[in-house]
Structure formats: structure tokens, C-alpha cells
């Protein structure tokens, strides 16, 4: 079983990443599961959670967030949280389907909506702010 692919498939199908417990049941061994997840985390293919009560679970499978965020992506097939504005677009790009993004403008607090229709971004106005230089994105990916 290719764990990364399994995680992403579960996330797409269910709107959330599989739990560490679920993955352990699939893999059959908790130590092997943790080792596989740690390797994926070290290779920046997943982001594991280090918060109390959630250690070892998946926090992010970029561009998807496993926690509720202000960036919600909705398609006819499902609904997912993104980590940021760029990840919102990235979810639709990764799914290769049309959909809608809802969020809030950070400067005004007003709601913002974007849509991809027929594979094209519709009426795209505004900007995405990148606060962290690219070389440092993975210094603290949760902050980024």
C-alpha cells in the first residue's frame, strides 16, 4: 500500500485525512505506520500534527487542511478546507474540477468568493499576499 496516495484518496473522498488509528489498521502495525508517516513528513509530502492530543495525526496534506479554516472549497463532489488562499486554488487545480472558494478578505473582513468554471478562474480580482519568502516556506509550514 502506498500510504501517501491512500491518505490523499481518503481526504478527497471524505473531506478529511484518515486518522493515525485508521492508517494503523490499514498498515497493520503502529510503529510501521508512524515510521511511514514520519518519512512522508520529513519529505514534506504530509504535515504531521504536534499539538497535544493530536500528535502523529495528519495536520495538512497540501494543499488540503485537516483542520477547519476560513478557506472553504466546494465542488459538486465535496467540500474541503484549504490552508490559505493559494491552497484554495490548488485544491481545485489538484482535483481538476470546477468549484467555488469562499473566504474572507483579510483587510476588510468582508466575504470573498472565487469560482473555477470550465477550468478557468472566473472574475479574478484582488491579490494573494505571500508573507514568507519562498526559501523559508518550510521553516514553519503551519505559519506559512
Residue 13 to residue 121: CA distance in whole angstroms: 24
| Contact yes or no for 114/124 (Cβ under 8 A) | yes
Q: Smallest distance, Å, CB 29 to other proteins? A: 23
Q: Smallest distance, Å, CB 67 to other proteins? A: 19
Query: Which residues bind to other proteins, rule: CB under 8 A?
Result: 2, 4-5, 8-9, 12, 43-45, 62-63, 86, 89-91, 93-96, 116, 120-121, 124, 128, 130, 133-136
Q: Smallest distance, Å, CB 97 to other proteins? A: 11
Nearer to other proteins, 55 or 132 (CB): 132
| Contact yes or no for 48/38 (Cβ under 8 A) | yes
Nearer to other proteins, 12 or 30 (CB): 12
Strand order in the sheet with 58-61: 47-48, 58-61, 64-65, 78-82, 71-75, 99-104, 111-117, 120-122
Nearer to other proteins, 35 or 132 (CB): 132
| Contact yes or no for 47/58 (Cβ under 8 A) | yes
Amino acid at each position: 500500500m502506498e500510504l501517501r496516495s491512500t491518505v490523499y484518496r481518503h481526504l478527497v473522498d471524505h473531506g478529511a485525512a484518515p486518522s493515525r488509528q485508521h492508517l494503523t489498521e490499514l498498515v497493520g502495525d503502529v510503529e510501521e505506520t508512524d515510521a511511514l508517516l514520519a518519512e512522508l513528513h520529513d519529505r514534506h509530502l504530509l504535515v504531521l500534527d504536534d499539538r497535544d492530543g493530536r500528535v502523529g495525526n495528519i495536520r495538512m496534506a497540501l494543499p488540503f487542511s485537516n483542520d477547519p479554516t476560513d478557506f472553504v472549497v466546494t465542488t459538486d463532489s465535496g467540500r474541503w478546507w484549504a490552508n490559505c488562499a493559494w491552497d484554495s486554488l490548488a485544491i481545485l487545480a489538484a482535483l481538476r474540477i470546477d468549484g467555488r472558494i469562499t473566504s474572507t478578505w483579510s483587510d476588510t473582513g468582508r466575504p470573498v468568493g472565487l469560482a473555477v468554471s470550465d477550468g478557468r478562474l472566473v472574475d479574478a480580482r484582488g491579490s494573494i499576499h505571500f508573507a514568507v519568502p519562498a526559501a523559508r516556506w518550510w521553516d514553519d509550514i503551519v505559519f506559512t
